[in-house]
Amino acid sequence: MSETDEHRYDDIIDLPRFVSQTHAHMSNYDRAAQFAPFAALTGFGDSIQETGRLTDERPELSDEERDEMDLRFRILELHFKEDPFVQIRYFIPDEKKEGGRVVEKSFEIHQIDTVNEVVIATDRKRYYMNSILDINGSIIKKYRNSGR
């Protein structure tokens, strides 16, 4: 390094820092944001997180279990006007990938729609019969205990 290079800024080094009269002072946070790295992989983190999210395989009912469910739906169809309270276990398919999750819910039945194969709760929520894995309630127990 030459001596002229060492003293290149001697004439301005001690001058006061310029302060604009027209522009507001930028905060250190905003100034640092200008130099933040560019997010070239926007959404990549979300994609990695989604890939790592686990889903369950849809449980398959045996022939005997399907027959039992059909019987239970028929019992409920005969007694739905009594607004029977039931507990169900049903499968909800995942919207983004294969599989889904099994959920338990309790509610009063408002209607059984055998044409569209839907159980309708008193809050008007619909549960498709082919997604219901198990259904229990006092009406079913009462019917079973009566020996019918």
Three-state secondary structure string covering the chain = CCHHHHCCCCCCCCCCCCCCCCCCCCCHHHHHHHCCCCCCCCCHHHHHHHHHCCCECCCCCCHHHHHHHHHHHHHHHHHHHHCCEEEEEEEEECCCCCCEEEEEEEEEEEEEECCCCEEEECCCCEEEHHHEEEEEEHHHHHHHHCCC
Please tell me the number of Cα atoms within 13 Å of 116 on its side-chain side.
9
pLDDT tens digit sequence for 89-135: 999 998 888 889 999 999 999 988 889 999 999 999 999 999 999 99
| 49/38 Cα distance (integer angstroms) | 21
Mean pLDDT for all residues in the chain: 86
The pTM of this model reads 0.62
| 121/81 Cα distance (integer angstroms) | 12
> Hey, what domains does the chain have and what are their CATH numbers?
3-52 (no CATH), 63-145 (2.30.30)
Residue at token pair 């369950």: 56
